[in-house]
Amino acid sequence: MEDGGRSGSDVHAEMGFLGSHGTTEMALHMLQRCVCLSKCFSKSAMPRFTARRSLLSASYTDPKIWEDKDPDPRNLAELAALMDRTYERKLPVSSLTISRFVDNITSMEEIEQTVYYLYKFRHSPNCWYLRDWTIHSWIRQCLKYGARDKALYTLKNKVQFGIFPDEFTFNLLLDSFLKDKDFGGACSVVEEMMRQEAFDSPSTQILSLYALANYLSTNPELTWQDERNLGASLMIAGLKQQNSTGFSAQVVGHALLGKVEISQGIHAVFRDAPLTWVPGFISRALLVMEQVCDAAPHIKISKEGLDYLEGLLKDLSASHTPEEGGETPETVDEEDQLERMKVPEYSRRFKDLNGRLQALDRIDVRSLQALTSSLAEESLVAAEAQDVQRYQGAMKEWEEERRDLARREEEQREKAQQEWAARAAEKARQPLQKLSRH
Tens-digit pLDDT profile for residues 341-385: 899 999 999 999 999 999 999 999 999 999 999 999 999 999 999
Q: What is the mean pLDDT of residues 325-344?
A: 71
pLDDT of residue 151: 97
Which residue type sits at 307? Answer: D
The separation between CA 101 and the C-alpha centre of its own chain, rounded to angstroms, equals 26
The residue among 162, 213, 153 whose CA lies nearest residue 187 is: 213
Q: In whole angstroms, what separates CA 287 from the centre of its chain? A: 26
pLDDT digits (tens, 9 = 90+) for 375-430: 999 999 999 999 999 999 999 999 999 999 999 888 887 787 777 777 777 777 77
pLDDT digit string, tens, across residues 149-168: 999 999 999 999 999 999 99
Considering only 63-72, 114-123, 373-382, 412-421, which range has the smallest mean pLDDT?
A: 412-421
**Quick check: 342 and 279 in contact, CB under 8 A?**
no
- Cβ count within 10 A of residue 373: 23
For the cut 70, the answer to whether the pLDDT of residue 316 exceeds it is yes
To the nearest 5 percent, what fractions of the chain are helix, strand and coil? 70, 0, 30
Cα gap 200→107, rounded to integer Å: 34
Ramachandran sector of residue 134 (left: φ over 0; alpha: ψ -120 to 50; beta: rest)? alpha
Strands 301-302 and 363-364: parallel
Distances in Å between the Cα of 161 and the Cα atoms of 111, 117, 145, 233, 409 are: 14, 9, 19, 23, 24
Give the single-character DSSP code of 127. G
Provide the pLDDT confidence category of residue 193 given band limits of 50, 70 and 90. very high
pLDDT at 428: 73
The per-residue pLDDT for range 269-304, each reduced to its tens digit, is: 888 778 878 889 999 999 999 999 999 999 999 999
Helix (H) or strand (E) holding 301: strand 301-302
Q: Could you give the 3-state DSSP secondary structure of residue 379?
A: helix
Q: Are 239 and 317 in contact (CB under 8 A)?
A: no
pLDDT at 230 over 90: yes
Kindly report whether the global pTM for this prediction surpasses the value 0.85.
no
Torsion angle, CA of 116/122/127/130, rounded to 10 degrees?
60
Where do the domains of the chain lie? 68-153, 166-318+335-375
Task: Please state, in angstroms and rounded to a whole number, the distance separating the CA atoms of residues 384 and 389.
Answer: 9
- Side-chain-side CA neighbours of 399 within 13 Å: the count stands at 14
Confidence of residue 47 (pLDDT cuts 50, 70, 90): very low
pLDDT at 131 over 90: yes
DSSP reduced 3-state for 89: coil
